[in-house]
Amino acid sequence: MATTTLPKTERIDVRASVSVKQLLQEAALANHKSVSEFLLEAGVNAANQALSGRRHFVLDEAQWEAFERALERPVQTKARLRRLVAETGLLD
């Protein structure tokens, strides 16, 4: 999601120490951005990365076909896994 194409109607307030603010200002300047642009882009990238495994995943054609085959494969009983799940765990 591009951060510059959507209208900015909401405000996010962030408090930081002087040293963190200076670091962010330096980084924004080095990237030819305002601090707001720098923080918003970095935040959106971090949010997308944190949620990407929960929302979607990208596969090429061969990977997609392998994924579909795995989904369609009949369920197999795994004796070792069944024993492991049945065991009392450390936290039980």
Positive or negative, the CA dihedral 54, 59, 63, 64 is positive
Q: Mean pLDDT over residues 21-35, rounded?
A: 97
Contact 44, 3 (CB under 8 A): yes
Rounded Cα gap, residues 25 and 30, in angstroms: 9
Contact 25, 35 (CB under 8 A): yes
Q: Mean pLDDT over residues 29-45, rounded?
A: 96
Q: Does pTM surpass 0.75?
A: no
Q: How confident is the model at residue 56 (pLDDT cuts 50, 70, 90)?
A: confident
Give the tokens for residue 32: 């030819």
Q: How many CA atoms lie within 13 A of 24 on its CB side?
A: 18
State the average pLDDT for the chain: 90
Q: What percent of the chain has pLDDT over 90?
A: 65
Q: How confident is the model at residue 4 (pLDDT cuts 50, 70, 90)?
A: low
